[in-house]
Amino acid sequence: MDIISVKQRFGIIGNSPLLDRAIDIARQVAPTDLSVLITGESGVGKEIFPQIIHHLSARKHGSYIAVNCGAIPEGTIDSELFGHEKGSFTGAHEARKGYFEVANGGTIFLDEVAELPLSTQVRLLRVLESGEFFKVGSSKSQKTDVRVVAATNVDVPVAVDQGKFRQDLFYRLSSVPIAVPALRERKEDIFLLFRKFASDFAEKYRMPVLELDEEAKQLLMNYRWTGNIRQLKNFTEQISIIERNRNVSADTLQRYLPETTRRDLPVLFKDANKGNEMTERELLYKVLFDMRRDITDLKKLVGEIIGHDEVSTHFNDSSTHIPDHYSGEPQRQEVNRVFVQDRGQPIDEESFVHGEIMEESLSLQERELEIIRRALEKHEGRRRNAARELGISERTLYRKIKEYGIKG
């Protein structure tokens, strides 16, 4: 059976070379008994490929069972797949056959296979290698002749690296891998699918078929469709029911598309495996901006104190508190004149009264030099103590002193 015949038989719409390649692999592997792993994003239509493989194989007259591994609770998945004996656990009032026993001589499709617990993965590996399995609560092995086709939307090599999926099972399942393309990778098929869905819903709800103008077609094809065919189908049904005007423009179409992923444009990507780690550049920016914010807040606070009508009555009060941002300890100081020093130059009080905020230099070298100087002054030139407060080694501090030419 050629690719066109396969599409017609299984209702597959599209002319993308990537789609044709996936169908061709399924068609060629069907007569064998090799295990197949189908990968692709959620909603791309992975479930149709196990059916192609089963119906084009010598097992087509045997059972075909599709199992959603992610929908079965972890505590009962072994019983569902391999069966159990009477009394093997609470509630097991009678013996039960599992899917691998029922599908003997046929094909079993394990959807979302990456959701299987590690203990179940060990059992599945045994079936793939020897055709043997044990029922839950039984010590007697049973034989089965089952063709296994699995599918997942998870990046399995990454799951293997994270210890969530067995490497040997991955190699065993992926004797023949089939990658189903995302909808945005087959843009030429998007309008064909939309037209098919629009026609089906028009017939279902007894209304005229939706028509798109050229600009609306382009908008439809440039949308990312993160939910793939499933999202496109739901979108078409929604607009078919709600929109009274059957000639749809781009402006009308745009109202039904979520704002977050409207265009197929490059996006910033954060590696989930890195967790909350920050790059050195991000860390430096964070330090600099935090420092600038603290200084700006301090200027505003001093400006408010100076501008207050009653501030003069409190300036000679020895209980006035000024936070020491470098030692982290509150100190009591007598204040006769409030001023802020920026790189050694006093700033006039007038600038605060009139709300003027002077820009701070964001030079990392200048800040580093200033902090090292302050640490040395505080500890009267004792480098070991200064290095300990700065959180660096004495050797690093010596190198910095030499680099910046700090005297004393």
Per-residue model confidence as pLDDT tens digits over 363-407: 667 778 888 888 888 888 888 888 888 888 888 888 888 888 887
127: left (phi over 0), alpha (psi -120 to 50) or beta: alpha
Residue 67: predicted pLDDT? 97
Is residue 263 situated within a structural domain?
no
| Mean pLDDT, all residues of the chain | 82
The mean per-residue pLDDT over the stretch 325-354 comes to: 42
* Over residues 346-363, mean pLDDT: 46
Tell which of 162, 181, 200 closes a domain: 181
Q: Which amino acid is at 225?
A: W
- The per-residue pLDDT for range 112-130, each reduced to its tens digit, is 999 999 999 999 999 999 9
Question: In the prediction, which pLDDT does 370 show?
Answer: 83
Residue 329 belongs to a domain: yes
Per-residue pLDDT band for 193 (boundaries 50, 70, 90) equals very high
CATH number at residue 386: 1.10.10
Domain boundary among 181, 198, 224: 181
The span from the CA of 114 to the CA of 238, in Å, is 32
Q: Look at residue 268 and tell me whether its pLDDT is greater than 90.
A: no
The answer to whether residue 347 is domain-embedded is yes
User: DSSP states of 249-307 as a string?
Assistant: -HHHHHTTS-STT-S--------GGGTT---HHHHHHHHHHHHHHHHHHHHHHHHHHHH
DSSP string, 137-173: T--SEEE---EEEEEESS-HHHHHHTTSS-HHHHHHH
CA dihedral 372, 377, 383, 389 (to 10 degrees): -60
Distance CA 311, CA 353 (A): 12
Count of structural domains, the chain: 4
| Predicted pLDDT of residue 384 | 86
27 lies in the same domain as 136:
yes
**pLDDT one-digit tens code per residue, 57-81:** 999 999 999 999 999 998 899 999 9
Structural domain boundaries, residue 323: 280-353
Give 102-125 as a 3 state SS string.
HCCCCEEEEECHHHCCHHHHHHHH
pLDDT digit string (tens) for 100-114? Answer: 999 999 999 999 999
pLDDT score recorded for residue 402: 81
In a shared domain, residues 53 and 165: yes
